[in-house]
Structure 1
Amino acid sequence: MKLIHAIHRCDVFMFIWFMNRKHLEFCARCSRWVSRTGDGYLYALLGLYWFASGDELNLALLKSALLAFAIERPLYFIVKNSLRRDRPAAAIRDYRSFIIPSDRFSFPSGHTSGAFLMATVIAAAYPACLPAWYGWAGAVGLSRIFLGVHFPTDVLVGLAMGTTVAFLSLGVFLT
């Protein structure tokens, strides 16, 4: 239990460090836009494109992404609702986030998990795009911190969960 409290104290320290940056308002405005790119709409559009293309590689990517999300989303909900970690606004006195989150708990970050899942699936087929997609996924994760709805470890675990599930799924459909 002491380890969990030590991690939480470190997490709160890092979160407050992020929140004390000079250009926080600008970061929050940009973060709203970046965060919305991880809401899932773009994933659906990309999936429709992969399906409509009929290309064998794109169909394998679609199957991999669908399997990955079929594993990741239930896992995400189970972890989030089992651990029930409060969001920063509930955990830190006199703190208000820049947005109202869609649910109560923060661990892990579902936006980050989904973004890294998609980045990993796409990068598996198009490795030259890896820096761009992982950069975007990282920006989605950071946006969740700058918006004040996640602690840094929420984002790190989301990164690990999305990437791991994507690799497992890719192993089924891509050789």
Structure 2
Amino acid sequence: MNTLRKITSYDAVAFYWCHGFTHMPRLATCSRMISRLGDGGLYLALGLSLAMFEVRDGEHFLLAGLLAFALELPLYLLLKNTIKRDRPCDRFDNFDAFIVPSDKFSFPSGHAAAAFVFATVLSHFYPSMLELSYSIAVLIGLSRVMLGVHYPTDIAAGAILGTSIATVALNVYAL
């Protein structure tokens, strides 16, 4: 069995394990709310608010964040449209997602990538927010699995992508 098949097999098992819990309506509702945190509006609102009202680092946070997202988005789209991995809700006949996906392909997770970009940039400028920001990023990623639109490795890849791109952006911004 090659590596890709092993990963796909693991993903299917992990996906169905997670969905052993989704018979609970509250979990699906909670997952929808958490997932919405990663839609992007909150990132921009917080960035603009900090830029306007937090004198010391707010503007730097916003500019570094904008740079990070400007780097992350094209790379995420390139990967997603090159790899073209079907979403679990499209692949498994006996499964329906709890939401309508925003696009066709699943790898990597854009919600996870964006959440980890935000968590990395936020914790760089506001170290006291590290645990909270990464906890929320993890929850956003998990919510996407629970909603049936991503596999666990989509989330892991998004987390790696987001953290890496944010680190690059922070280093470029510091120049």
Using the size of structure 2 for normalisation, the TM-score is 0.94
Partner of 1:45: 45
Counterpart of 1:94 in 2: which secondary structure?
coil
2-structure distance, mates of 1:77, 1:134: 23
Partner of 2:151: 151
Deviation at 1:56, TM superposition (A): 4.6
Moved over 4 A (4+): none
Q: Between the two proteins, what is the percent identity of the paired residues?
A: 43
Structure 1 unaligned residues grouped into runs of 5+: none
Using the size of structure 1 for normalisation, the TM-score is 0.94
- The one-character-per-residue Cα deviations of 1:67-119 (angstroms, maximum 9, x if unpaired) are 11111000010000110000001111211111111111000110111011101
The count of aligned residue pairs is 175
Deviation at 1:50, TM superposition (A): 3.0
- The one-character-per-residue Cα deviations of 1:107-138 (angstroms, maximum 9, x if unpaired) are 01101110111011010111121111101111
Q: Is the 8 A contact 1:39 1:111 kept in 2?
A: yes
Structure 2 unaligned residues grouped into runs of 5+: none
2-structure distance, mates of 1:50, 1:173: 17
Structure 1 letter corresponding to 2:81: N
Structure 2 letter corresponding to 1:30: C
Partner of 1:91: 91
Counterpart of 2:100 in 1: which secondary structure?
coil
Q: For structure 1, which segment, 101-110 or 53-62, has the greater mean C-alpha deviation from structure 2 after superposition?
A: 53-62
Counterpart of 1:55 in 2: which secondary structure?
coil
Q: Is the 8 A contact 1:119 1:137 kept in 2?
A: yes
Structure 2 letter corresponding to 1:170: L
- The one-character-per-residue Cα deviations of 1:1-56 (angstroms, maximum 9, x if unpaired) are 82111110111110000001265432111000000011000111112113323725
Partner of 2:142: 142
2-structure distance, mates of 1:25, 1:92: 21
Q: Is the 8 A contact 1:24 1:146 kept in 2?
A: no
